[in-house]
Structure 1
Amino acid sequence: MNRPIIALDFPSKNEVNSFLANFPKEETLFLKVGMELFYREGPTIVKELIAEGHDIFLDLKLHDIPNTVQSAMRNIASLGVKITNVHAAGGKEMMTAALNGLKEGTPEGREVPKLIAVTQLTSTSETQMHEDQLIPVSLRESVTHYAKITEDAGLDGVVCSAHEVTFIKEETSSSFICLTPGIRPMNSDKGDQKRVMSPSEAKTIGSTYIVVGRPITKSSTPYETYLEIKKEWIGE
């Protein structure tokens, strides 16, 4: 079972370094680098974290015309990240182009990064989906549809709420990845996430990876909190 992925939702490299100083240097982490950090620090922050021995989920949620996404993925592939993603709403042609770009840009002898697609953000409620996106079907139907076209496009899996894992697994292959953000330990603040679940619950229903942000990054004892969540997730 994989380590919990820690969301580095910080505005700059200095904050990241201050946060990681709470962890033993020998602790190999799985870290999420998102838009806020990447757009400030660029590829350099990714390369530095990898050089320190950490694995990276580069969470940029690409969504553009197929040619542009394919070209961007060629560059992402050269960084050596483990996972990256696109928006499933971009469609099968775009997702296939993204995968082709990753394969084209991966240096010989290196593993192609896992490519997953965002279905519906965990901050999106069914009411918001209906009113803001004008999608008339249920949230479950929308997420399932996105998951199925993601698999059809050849991608490795999806980003989804843990509440959606069970029915996504019913409609996709056993190896299909369900990476679930919105993970919160019991009795913790949900923040702006609408659809959340605890690490142990996510493990039970079959999440492949979990992403945990503020419960760790805002903790007064980040490393101890990480170990507690890791224990609950992995069962050590």
Structure 2
Amino acid sequence: MTDGVQTDGARRTGLIVALDTQSPAQARQWATQVGAAAGMLKLGMEFAYAAGFGAVAEVAAARPIFLDLKLHDIPNTVASAIKALSYLRPRMLTLHASGGQAMMEAARKACDEAFPQGARPVLLAVTVLTSMDDQGLAAIGVADGTAAQVGRLGRIAVRSGMDGLVCSAQELTLLRDALGETPVLVTPGIRPAGASKGDQKRVMTPAQARAAGADWIVVGRPITQAADPGAAAAAIAAELAG
């Protein structure tokens, strides 16, 4: 199962807007403001843990969601968590590739069992967080750098049945060369030209990510903290379509 954005065989890049808030009211407001410019809405740990999964379900009932919980535990626990989350019917769901092959295989099996045919989410393995760089990886014992680690984890993830990967835009070309066109590549750390990088270390503009082969980009603060979130989302969508 894939969820790349394609028309007549040509790859397009879709926009996921990250609703990084603890407030259900704020999430609903942003969801309304970004409207059709967003192909999907991302809800992550901050929202789920603060507002609860009932609030996640409310958003998911109205719009396709990318549920970004980055599951990472022993295989049985991750499989059980996925089954518990299945009622939310997320379009995409994340876990950490660093959990290993057995964990990812268990996640895929749980998805196949828990979701109706045709409704299984796109399973995305997170390779290296975009807040990390070579120095940060070296500090936790990964000595050969970001690119090598992303490639290593990406290959394991695809072998383990993952539909795609979450990666920095700077590794898009590397992964396309290594894994081909089939995996869905979702890219956070996207900043329009002139925007602050915030806590992201490895960033690109929307147009650069599209050119490098991203299926989806994830943008949060440059949209949600803009004076007009709807206009900001529409501008990025137009850049992707350009």
TM-score where L is the length of structure 2: 0.91
For 1:175 and 1:110, locate their aligned partners in 2 and report how far apart those are by CA, in whole Å: 18
For 2:39 and 2:59, locate their aligned partners in 1 and report how far apart those are by CA, in whole Å: 10
Structure-to-structure mapping, 1:44-83, within 5 angstroms: 44-52=54-62, 54-83=63-92
- CA deviations on 1:155-176 (whole Å, 9 max, x unpaired) are 1111000000001111113211
For 1:78 and 1:171, locate their aligned partners in 2 and report how far apart those are by CA, in whole Å: 35
Structure-to-structure mapping, 1:8-157, within 5 angstroms: 8-23=19-34, 29-52=39-62, 54-107=63-116, 109-131=117-139, 133-157=140-164
CA-based RMSD: 1.5
Is 1:193 the equivalent of 2:194?
Answer: no
Partner of 2:7: none
Contact 1:76 1:105 survives alignment (8 Å): no
How far off is 1:23 after superposition? Answer: 4.4
State the identity %.
Answer: 39
- CA deviations on 1:160-215 (whole Å, 9 max, x unpaired) are 00000001111113211111000010011000000000011001010111000000
How far off is 1:92 after superposition? Answer: 0.3
Q: Secondary structure at the match of 1:86?
A: strand
For 1:64 and 1:104, locate their aligned partners in 2 and report how far apart those are by CA, in whole Å: 19
- Greater relative contact order (Cα 8 A, min sep 6): structure 1 or 2? 2
- CA deviations on 1:75-123 (whole Å, 9 max, x unpaired) are 222211100011011000000101111111103x442100011111000
TM-score where L is the length of structure 1: 0.93
Aligned length: 231
Residue identity in the other structure for 1:91: G
How far off is 1:45 after superposition? Answer: 2.1
Contact 1:76 1:102 survives alignment (8 Å): no
For 1:140 and 1:233, locate their aligned partners in 2 and report how far apart those are by CA, in whole Å: 25
Residue identity in the other structure for 1:151: V
